[in-house]
Amino acid sequence: MNSILNTYSPLSKELYNEYRGEVMRDALSTQKVLVIGAGGLGCEILKCLALSGIKEIHVIDLDTIDLTNLNRQFLFRMKDVGKYKAEVAAEFIMKRIPSCKVIPYTKKIQEFGIGFYQEFSVIIAGLDNIEARRWINRVVIQMVERDENEKVIDGSRHYLIDGGTEGLNGQARVISPFESACYECTLSQLPKQLQYQMCTIASTPRLPEHCIAYVYEVLWQKEQPDVKLDKDNFDHMNWIYQKALERAKQFNIEGVTYKLTLGVVKNIIPAVASTNALIASICTVECIKILTGNGSQLNNYIQWYGQNHQTGVGINVIQQERLDECTECSIQQLQIKVKRTDQLSILLTLLPPEIELYCNGQTLITNNNLRKQGFAHLLVKTFQELIESKIIYENSVLKAIDKNKTINVRIQYE
């Protein structure tokens, strides 16, 4: 590490050339990093951060360790099966690297308030689903504060580094809110998920995947209409597995396994340890650049092709562009003047009737099903009460979505 910190980089910004040796080590040791996900990619990221000199790492993951994780998630052992990934990973890292403090959390990312995420200059996501990525992308955008001239206030921008792997291929991106394309800007570029024709899975299944898809998409709703399927619940997934086995025997189909069941239901793509290691190292390097100001950060998306039938092994850097019509980082603004003693319900008279209002990743208002979703109690709170309880912040920009059109709502207090 010393050789890295003391080596001059011709790519480093001239303003930050004073960062060398002890200065860079101080920058790494005094800032906290949040890692979301402690799975295959998350284990590699945690290892790389700890070995790079980061002294305090926080990690969120509500999953528990499964036997199938052990072939690539190297922070776990057989004795850890059934335990929380975040807790075991934190214990392993701190035992191996005592100078590094790792704090685990075993809750959903949506259960943390905006104040929690504001503690971290950099958030690294090693997630395995689109919705969680979209949510944390929304949070880093909403944490940005602006002055009266609508300019971003220095120090209010938090960076999101997003990594992902698919077999032998992988990608990483650096999201700098209102500077680079956010995750929502690039949703249209995502590959379509594999889908099976309903007529095939219902009438003429030929593959084990067809049997699993039938139970998942048809039989669960038919036999358990009042139970919401939880893909992280073992009993639910085992039910699908057992029913798929029965259907496979009926049609003389072999190959239905519990692992395949998880893969079909969760759309899991087989993970490769070497790909995880490569993408984790890219994420870590970008994190170090941001924390120390040493080196030009990725601009802003990198793809790794470990398997490409046309070009073979390769790597590609793309500058993804922001979309003017992006539902998260669009520049449309609406200013509303209220009194601090006004209740939140006053916005219902000032905004379109079918509006959905968000702040800091949390829903404030949704007219369509307000009471059922449990938001009615917020309407009677004053803006001052909402600020004191940290549901909203003084300079927070609320996000209003009306028929897929997003408007940033800035509240001005009289």
The pLDDT assigned to 66 comes to 82
Give yes or no for a contact between 317 and 329, defined as CB atoms under 8 angstroms apart: no
Would you state the pLDDT for residue 355? 63
**pLDDT tens digits for range 330-364:** 766 667 788 888 888 887 777 766 666 666 556 66
User: Which pLDDT does position 403 carry in this prediction?
Assistant: 54
For residue 360, the model assigns a pLDDT of 55
pTM, rounded to two decimals: 0.69
- If you count DSSP H runs as helices and E runs as strands, how many of each does the chain have, helices first? 15, 13
Cβ–Cβ < 8 Å for 237, 266 = no
pLDDT of 373: 47
How far apart are alpha carbons 137 and 21 in whole angstroms?
A: 33
CATH 1.10.10.520 domain span(s) along the chain: 198-266
Q: Which one-letter DSSP state was computed for residue 113?
A: -
pLDDT for 43: 95
Tell which CATH architecture fits domain 4-167+271-298: 3-Layer(aba) Sandwich (3.40)
- The span from the CA of 174 to the CA of 265, in Å, is 29
Where does CATH 3.40.50.720 sit in the chain?
A: 4-167+271-298
Q: Tokens 């790494």 belong to which residue?
A: 28
Enclosing H/E stretch for 356: strand 356-359
Topology of domain 332-413, CATH:
3.10.290
Residues classed as catalytic: 199
- Classify residue 297 by its DSSP letter: P
Provide CATH 3.10.290.20 ranges for the chain.
Answer: 332-413
Q: How far is CA 270 from CA 33, 151, 209, in A?
A: 28, 44, 15
The superfamily (CATH) of domain 198-266 is Ubiquitin activating enzymes (Uba3). Chain: B, domain 2 (1.10.10.520)
Could you tell me which residues come within 8 angstroms of residue 201 by beta carbon, excluding any fewer than 6 positions away? 210, 211, 213, 214, 217, 218
The two structure tokens encoding residue 235: 């009993």
Residue 146: other Cβ atoms inside 10 A: 16
Q: What is the pLDDT of residue 9?
A: 53
Q: Which two tokens stand for residue 281?
A: 């190292």
Which stretches in the chain have pLDDT values below 50? 1-3, 14-19, 368-373
